[in-house]
Amino acid sequence: QKAGSSMFRFPLISVKGIPLMNHIANNFDAVSAFCPDPSDILIATYPKAGTTWTQEIVDLLLHNGDAEACRRAPTPVRSPFLEICSPPPIPSGAYPKSKEIKSKTHLPIQLVPTGFWEKKCKTIYVARNAKDNTVSYYHFGRMNMTQPEPGPWEDYVQKFMRGEMPWGSWYDHVKGYWQEREKRNILYIFYEDMKEDPRREVERIMKYMDLSLSDDVVGSIVELTTFKNMKENPMANYTCIPENVFDQSISSFMRKGEVGDWKNHFTPEQSAEFDEDYEKKMKQVNIPFRTQF
């Protein structure tokens, strides 16, 4: 670990049983009181499920595929992080002051400000299979100095299964939004589906947003949001965050962008233990996750 980096590794404080970074927990009344406009769009995810990718797609859809317009500012300015209230230099807390209409949240559904439901705001939930999500979150913890130290991989897998992560349990998160998706008109999409057929998923998001853009524009949005193009886009690849906060020399924000990278991390024993635990936690729902194609 580099000198000085530990000053950002915020401790977790429980809010209604969900571990959140202290600056979020300490400001949670203000977060809960936030009152959106009915035209606001919420992009909700468990961390590392494809948030940034979806934020880029939504911004491009709102700007008719105009690449220049969507390079006006980095992702966290174009699509503010609802609950983050951290001190500088981490950009955040902008949402209540921002004119941008699409915010990102990692809050589990029960902690989302009730205003979003009262105003019937559109909500897009992106879910990613548990194993790839674990791997991605692990590498993110290594490079993101605001997160707790991930520690060794074998311990990290255990903590993930126990839900001892910022924003809590992956299992409860994906189930919470799944169970409410019809009642609250949530568009529930999967990272793996986006990888398999990005055009189909961009069109799905477009329809949900009541937009109808030409086939050409949809095609260019698909192209602009490939992993490679977003990795090279300084307004989408999080190079806007100072290196002492996101140390991309440890692991890139745009790390790999694939389905099935878990096979390079889980030993057969870890995989078997994870699967057994997964069955128990997920048996009451049938969410069609795929860990490979």
Active-site residues, by number, are: 106
Residue 223 interacting with ligand A3P (CB under 6 A): no
β 12-15/41-45 pair status: unpaired
Of these, 8, 28, 52, 168, which contacts ligand A3P (CB under 6 A)? 52
Binding to ligand A3P (CB under 6 A): which residues in 116-145?
132, 136, 139
Q: Of the candidates 254, 262, 278, 289, which one interacts with ligand A3P according to CB under 6 A?
A: 254
Name the one range near ligand A3P by CB under 6 A: 26-34, 61-69, 219-227, 272-280. 219-227
Cβ-based nearer residue to ligand A3P, 119 or 227: 227
| Closer by beta carbon to ligand A3P, 119 or else 220 | 220
The number of residues that bind ligand A3P (CB under 6 A) is 20
Applying CB under 6 A, does 50 fall inside the site for ligand A3P?
yes
d(CA 127, CA 105) in angstroms, rounded, equals: 13
Nearest approach, Cβ of 147 to ligand A3P (angstroms)?
11
Separation between Cα atoms, residue 68 and residue 258, nearest integer Å: 27
CB of 280 to ligand A3P, least distance (A): 25
Cα 49 to Cα 152, 155, 254: the distances in Å are 21, 21, 12
Give the residue, chosen from 21, 23, 51, 141, that forms a contact with ligand A3P under the rule CB under 6 A: 51
Give strand ranges (E) for 60-173.
102-105, 122-127
Per CB under 6 A, 260 contacts ligand A3P = no
Q: How far is the CB of 33 from ligand A3P (least distance, A)?
A: 26
- Residue 187 near residue 124 (C-beta atoms within 8 A): yes
- Give the shortest CB-238-to-ligand A3P separation in angstroms: 9
CB 77 within 8 Å of CB 94: yes
| The two three-digit tokens of residue 14, written as one number | 């429980």
- Site membership for ligand A3P, residue 265 (CB under 6 A): no
Please give the sequence-ordered ranges of beta strands (E in DSSP) within 28-67, or none if there are none.
41-45
Cβ neighbours of residue 134 closer than 8 Å, sequence gap 6 or more: 156, 157, 160, 170, 262, 265, 274
Cβ distance to ligand A3P smaller for residue 115 or 148: 148
- Taking the C-alpha atoms of residue 213 and residue 220, their distance in angstroms, rounded to an integer, is 11
CA 29 to chain centre: 22
Q: Is 146 in the site for ligand A3P (CB under 6 A)?
A: no
Q: How far is the CB of 284 from ligand A3P (least distance, A)?
A: 26
Cα–Cα distances in angstroms (integers) from residue 273 to residues 51, 77, 80, 268, 287, in the given order: 28, 40, 37, 9, 20
Residue-wise burial string across 102-125, b where 16 or more C-beta atoms lie within 10 A, e elsewhere? bbbbbbbbebbbebbbeeebbbbb
* Identity of the residue, 253 or 278, whose beta carbon is nearer to ligand A3P in the bound complex: 253
Closer Cβ to ligand A3P, 101 or 230, answer by number: 230
- Of 13-21, 23-31, 33-41, 223-231, the window that binds ligand A3P (rule: CB under 6 A) is 223-231
Residues found near ligand A3P in the complex (CB under 6 A): 45, 47-53, 132, 136, 139, 225-227, 230, 254-257, 261
